[in-house]
Amino acid sequence: MARENLGWGYVRIQGALVNLGYEICSTTVANVLKRHGIVPAPERQKHTTWSTFLKSHWEMLAATDFFTIEVWTMRGLVTYYVLFTIHLATRRVHIAGITASPNSAFMIQVARQLTDESDGALNDVRFLIMDRDTKFTNHFKAFLRREGVESVSYPPRSPNCSPHAERFVRSIKEECLDRIIPIGFGSLRRAINEYVKPYHHERNHQGLDNQLLSSLATSTRAQDGNINRRERLGGMLNYYYRLAA
């Protein structure tokens, strides 16, 4: 109870235990918590767990990360960096930028686009989760903060703190990028765009009860009629659906 309710003091916990049929005094509650290394309520409130933070801000949370891909160019193989954001509640992904030089100027431009008043991907986001990669510069974080988005960095070597972003990277690489050799920047951008479209409208997501992200696609699902296949990237990505008779 103490871990799940950070503001509950000894007497409040004692009362909750009485509701369950346990008649003990508040001093006993204090001794039990102390024996298990659980600090009093005022101190507990200062140390919010990561899972509690995520649950309490779920609708206002997004995560961001980079992944890399090798591209054939006139200069040989060039490493491109792809920056994306993912809204945790809806799993919607936004490709924020693709570049071979993720410098400070690139990051500031990305911050402007992400917080654009008309169509910024972070317009409804209060917190942006990221790792401690130096590409997420202080100027980048300061720009976001001025626009009302607080940067939240998780500990080093802790990818489990951003599982939704990690899962997207794994999906796009296994299902698309690891199976092609992009020739030039245009080829890479097309492949990524062709993946993101079905990711939102044609891909079932196990973390969301194996449903499609698009409510439109779900609501118009036909029960009979001919089965059709929609191909993307030469048949690498397939979506099966019915046309109503």
pLDDT, one tens digit per residue, over 143-184 is 999 999 999 998 887 878 899 999 999 999 999 999 998 999
Q: What is the pLDDT of residue 218?
A: 47
Give every CB contact of residue 142 below 8 A, 6+ residues apart in sequence. none
Q: What is the pLDDT of residue 40?
A: 83
| Domain topology for 56-206 | Nucleotidyltransferase; domain 5 (3.30.420)
Measured CA to CA, the distance from residue 180 to residue 18 in angstroms comes to: 63
Measured CA to CA, the distance from residue 193 to residue 210 in angstroms comes to: 22
With 50 as the cut, is the pLDDT of residue 9 above it?
Answer: yes
Do the beta carbons of residue 166 and residue 159 sit within 8 Å? yes
In the chain, which segments carry CATH 3.30.420.10? 56-206
Q: What is the pLDDT of residue 46?
A: 65
Q: What is residue 150's DSSP assignment?
A: E
Measured CA to CA, the distance from residue 105 to residue 48 in angstroms comes to: 34
With 60 as the cut, is the pLDDT of residue 220 above it?
Answer: no
With 80 as the cut, is the pLDDT of residue 67 above it?
Answer: yes
Tokens of 55: 């649950």
Instruction: Kindly report, residue by residue over 194-218, the tens digit of the pLDDT.
Output: 999 999 988 888 877 788 887 544 4
pTM over the 0.75 mark: yes
Predicted confidence band of residue 47 (pLDDT cuts 50, 70, 90): low
Q: What is the pLDDT of residue 208?
A: 79
Continuous segment of H or E residues that includes residue 204: strand 204-205
**Total number of residues shown for the chain:** 245
With 90 as the cut, is the pLDDT of residue 15 above it?
Answer: yes
Cα 197 to Cα 97, 190, 193: the distances in Å are 16, 11, 6
